[in-house]
Amino acid sequence: QVWQIRLDMHLLNHDGNITDAASIAGIVALCHFRRPDVSVQGQEVTVYTPEERDPVPLSIHHMPICVSFAFFHQGTYLLVDPSEREERVMDGLLVIAMNKHREICTIQSSGVVMLVQDQILRCSKIAAVKVAEITELIQKALENDHKARKEGGKFGFAESIPNQKITTFKMESAAVDTNNVEEQAGEIIAKADPPSEIFVNPILHTPGTAQIGEGIENSWGDLEESEKEEAAEEEGESKAAAFACQKSETEDTSMMSKTKKDEPIVLSDSEEEEVVILEPQELPRRTR
Partner 1 sequence: PVTPPWLSPGDTSVLAGLYGPAEAKLSKELPDRAALEVLLRPKVGLPGVLERSREQQLRQTCEAVVLGVLHPRTAITLVLQVLSDAGSLLSCCLNAACMGLLDAGLPLCSLFCGVTCALGPDGAITLDPTARQEQEARAVLTFAIDSSERKVLMSTTKGSCSVEEMQQCLAAAQRAADTIFQFYRDSLQRRYSK
Instruction: By CB under 8 A, name the binding residues for partner 1.
Output: 6, 8, 10, 12-13, 154, 156-159, 161, 166-171, 173-174, 176-178, 181-182, 184-186, 188-189
* Minimum separation from the CB atom of position 178 to partner 1 (A): 5
Compute the 3-state secondary structure of the chain and give helix, strand, coil in percent, each to the nearest 5.
35, 15, 50
Find the helix or strand (DSSP H, E) in which 79 lies. Answer: strand 77-80
Residues in CB range of 88: below 8 A, 6 or more apart: none
Over the range 99-133, which residues count as b (16 or more CB within 10 Å of their CB) and which as e? bbeeeeeeeebeeebebeeebbeebbeebbebbbe
Nearer to partner 1, 89 or 161 (CB): 161
Interaxial angle between packed helices 117-151 and 18-32, expressed in degrees from 0 to 180 and rounded to the nearest 10: 40
Find the helix or strand (DSSP H, E) in which 97 lies. Answer: strand 92-98
* Minimum separation from the CB atom of position 175 to partner 1 (A): 9
Nearer to partner 1, 48 or 155 (CB): 155
Nearer to partner 1, 112 or 158 (CB): 158
The size of the chain, in residues, is 288
* Minimum separation from the CB atom of position 171 to partner 1 (A): 5
Distance (Å, rounded) from C-alpha 263 to C-alpha 248? 17
* Minimum separation from the CB atom of position 162 to partner 1 (A): 11
* Minimum separation from the CB atom of position 159 to partner 1 (A): 7
Nearer to partner 1, 89 or 174 (CB): 174
Nearer to partner 1, 171 or 198 (CB): 171
Nearer to partner 1, 182 or 271 (CB): 182
Nearer to partner 1, 6 or 247 (CB): 6
Residues in CB range of 65: below 8 A, 6 or more apart: 20, 23, 24, 27, 97, 98, 99, 130, 131, 134, 135
Neighbours of 169 (CB within 10 A): 7
* Minimum separation from the CB atom of position 222 to partner 1 (A): 29
Asked whether the beta carbons of 170 and 163 are under 8 A apart, the reply is yes
* Minimum separation from the CB atom of position 195 to partner 1 (A): 8
Nearer to partner 1, 52 or 159 (CB): 159
DSSP bridge partners of 95: 68, 108
* Minimum separation from the CB atom of position 181 to partner 1 (A): 5
H runs (alpha helix) in 71-168: 84-89, 117-151, 157-160
